[in-house]
Amino acid sequence: MGAYGGQALTPELLYILGTLATWVGWVLTFKAASATFRYLFKSPGVNLSDLQRGMVLNGLGAGALLLLGALIPKELGRTVDAAGARFPLVWVLMPWSGWAAVACAGFAILRAFQTFTAITSEEQRKKLIGVPIWLVLCAYFWWLTAQQPGTVSVFRGGIPMSLNVALGIVALAIATLAAMAWISRKTTSRGYGKTVASHAALLIGSLIFGVPFAWLVVTSFKEDKDIANATALHWTPYITVMDKYEDPDEPNFQGKFQNSVVEGSIIAKLPDGRVRIDINKPMAMRGTTFEAFPIELKQVPKEVPEVTGTYNSKPVKGIAIKEMEDGSRKVLIQSPPDLKGTVYTALAKDVENVRKVGLRWQNFTDALDYLPPDTQKGLVYLKNTMILVVMSVIGTVVSCTLVAYAFSRMQFYGQNFLFLVLLSTMMLPGAVTMLPGFLVFRTLGWIDTLYPLWVPSFFAGAFNVFLLRQFFGSIPMELEDAAKIDGCTYLGTLWSVMVPQIKPALAAISIFTAMGAWNNFFGPLIFISSPDKMPVAYAVQLYNSSRGGEPGLLMAFTTMSIIPVVLLFFLAQRYFIEGVTLSGLGGR
């Protein structure tokens, strides 16, 4: 990373130029390949001379830029493993004026390229006029940025990959372009080529936007040492191989304390025969002591890591039975057989934990162990959240259905005016109603309770009312008239005739409401102060502030908190999509 003051730093600028040249060069390469395949397959409706021109211009531009990107020295600013290929990445952190300058420069380059490729002289003149205008604006915004020294930082990095992987990606991309051109040629009359391209773009987009979620899930199974890496992102999780060990010097005991099963070691023996135990598990009680009679305790083995190292110049394998205060480790040798049982002290750098590919499920149990004991391993958070979700869904569905039905089917004085007033409440920012709402709930004595978080759902929200009203309006009046002839009241007609017709819309607003209640963080932050009333979303933030230094546990806790919402969406996505499509928002 480098920072700009009033002067440009050559390594950073060179890295930016080299990275841009490489990326644009590959883009032009694929454009040239696409034009080549379309020319070879003689795609109908396309001028072949234009394709030839595109092949030549894009090919020459790609070759020049890739050569330039290869020749420009791109220093990362740190020492990394040089094995394999590295696709450069760069990001510039700067104020809005800097990004405005970049945008203006981009438009200037675009206009210049359009001028070069214009067909008529009139088109060339129009495009050329924009070049100096954008350049002047670029210079002005960059001058504004230069007046703020130290505000521009360049972050340099890269995607490491082996030569085989790089060649495989290029081959796959070229094969995809060839397949698209062939399909477009063979099935132009039915539009299959366009369909395949659209679905491929959607699939690629889904994969790109799904990467952060996949990284969250994978990271939740990793050890902390594998998460933060300055050179590359490692997707494969590894675990340290653990072994059981009965420590004769400091035995580990298991007992019960405050209705919880705990583990710890004896630190003192009392005159009345009891012993004082220093708790080390669960994590939330670490450092707490309690007293118990030895008969109430059960000795259990410790979990220690398997390690490899050298002893008297011979490679050995054993277990690290104790971590010393000076950073060294006491190792009990297990192999080779002639040294089995030998205990020696080694420096931390001279022994290495035995690791293998696997999932560290312990992150999830440890994450729950760090929660306060009175939360019952997070069940209190889950209970509070489920109360909010269930009550919010019930309140929203009942109130919005009644109000939407009244606005769509019942005729009364001021109906349209009141509906406009209801819709106008959507224009009020939440910050405007936050303080009045807090004062109202404080007057009612509801602060530090769950009531402020779910009671408002029984007072219909404008968006859901609008959604259901539009859906009600699409139902034929003949159904309601038939119900009235049979003697149904308004509520009877609503329940027996109308509600069965709007199930998709009700499912859609139920999913919206459930996800909103589950992820609600701002409401609990304002109204709740007691830990036993916190929902999951608030607990995640508190967990982040207390255990942010242990990303593996944080990722595991976050994964557990979002799994119910993800499952809800995937299980109910048919109703979700159907409700939005059939409602007024879908154009029906």
**Which DSSP string corresponds to 87-116?**
EEEEEEE--HHHHHHHHHHHHHHHHHHHHH
Token pair belonging to 213: 């979620």
Phi, psi of 521 (to 5 degrees): -115, -40
From 364, 585, 319, 327, select the one nearest 466 (Cα to Cα). Answer: 585
| 560 vs 368: CA distance, rounded Å | 10
Three-class SS of residue 307? strand
What's the chain's length in residues?
Answer: 588
- Position 577, amino acid: I
Q: How many CB atoms are located within 10 Å of the residue 249 CB?
A: 8
We find that the CATH architecture of domain 373-586 is Orthogonal Bundle (1.10)
Q: Residue 61 carries which side chain, given as an amino acid letter?
A: G
Q: What are the two backbone dihedrals, phi and then psi, of residue 360, each rounded to the nearest 5 degrees?
A: -90, 80
Cα angle 533, 534, 539; round to 5: 155
- Burial grade of 417 (CB within 10 A; 0-12, 13-18, 19 or more): exposed
Q: Please state the φ and ψ torsions of residue 138, each to the nearest 5 degrees.
A: -60, -45
Q: Is the pTM of this model over 0.75?
A: no
Strand partners, 91: 155
Longest dimension (CA), the chain: 104
Place of tokens 């998460």: 227
> What is the Rg, in whole angstroms, of the alpha carbon atoms belonging to the chain?
33
Q: How far is CA 27 from CA 23, 182, 199, in A?
A: 6, 21, 20
Distant-in-sequence contacts of 389-394, Cβ < 8 A, 24+ apart: 389/514, 389/517, 389/518, 391/454, 391/457, 392/453, 392/454, 392/457, 392/513, 392/514, 392/516, 392/517, 393/457, 393/510, 393/513, 393/514, 393/517, 394/457
Domain extents in the chain: 2-219, 242-300, 302-353, 373-586
Determine the 3-state secondary structure of 455 from DSSP: helix
Q: What is the pLDDT of residue 387?
A: 93
In the beta sheet, which residues pair with residue 316?
309
Is the Cβ–Cβ distance between 306 and 354 less than 8 Å? yes
- How are beta strands 260-269 and 275-281 bridged, if at all? antiparallel
Report the pLDDT value the prediction gives residue 154, as an integer from 0 to 100. Answer: 79
Tokens of 86: 């590295």
C-beta neighbour count of 283 within 10 angstroms: 18
Judge if 242-300 and 302-353 fold alike in CATH terms: yes
* C-alpha distance from residue 487 to each of 300, 411, 480, 483, 493 (Å): 74, 19, 11, 7, 9
Tens place of pLDDT per residue across the chain (588 aa): 444 444 445 677 888 888 888 888 888 888 888 888 877 776 666 677 777 777 888 888 888 888 888 888 877 777 665 555 677 888 888 888 888 888 888 888 888 877 776 666 777 777 788 888 888 888 888 888 888 776 677 788 777 777 777 778 878 888 877 777 776 665 544 555 566 667 777 788 788 788 888 888 888 888 877 776 655 567 788 888 888 888 887 888 888 887 778 888 888 888 888 888 888 887 777 778 888 888 888 888 888 888 998 888 888 898 888 888 888 888 888 888 888 888 888 888 888 888 888 888 888 888 888 887 777 878 888 899 999 999 999 999 999 999 998 888 887 888 888 888 888 888 888 778 888 889 999 999 999 899 999 999 999 888 889 888 888 888 888 887 787 787 777 788 888 888 888 888 888 888 889 888 998 888 888 898 888 888 988 888 877 777 767 788 888 888 888 888 888 877 777 766 665 555 444 444
Cβ-contact 483, 493 below 8 angstroms: yes
CATH number for the region 242-300 comes to 2.30.30
Q: Which of 318, 315, 322, 314 is nearest to 306 (CA)?
A: 318
Other Cβ atoms closer than 10 A to 379: 11
Token pair 């990095």 is found at 157
Backbone angles phi and psi of 439, in degrees to 5 = -65, -40
Copy the structure tokens of residue 243: 């072994």
Q: Report which secondary-structure segment, H or E, holds 569.
A: helix 551-582
**Fold (CATH) for 302-353:** SH3 type barrels. (2.30.30)
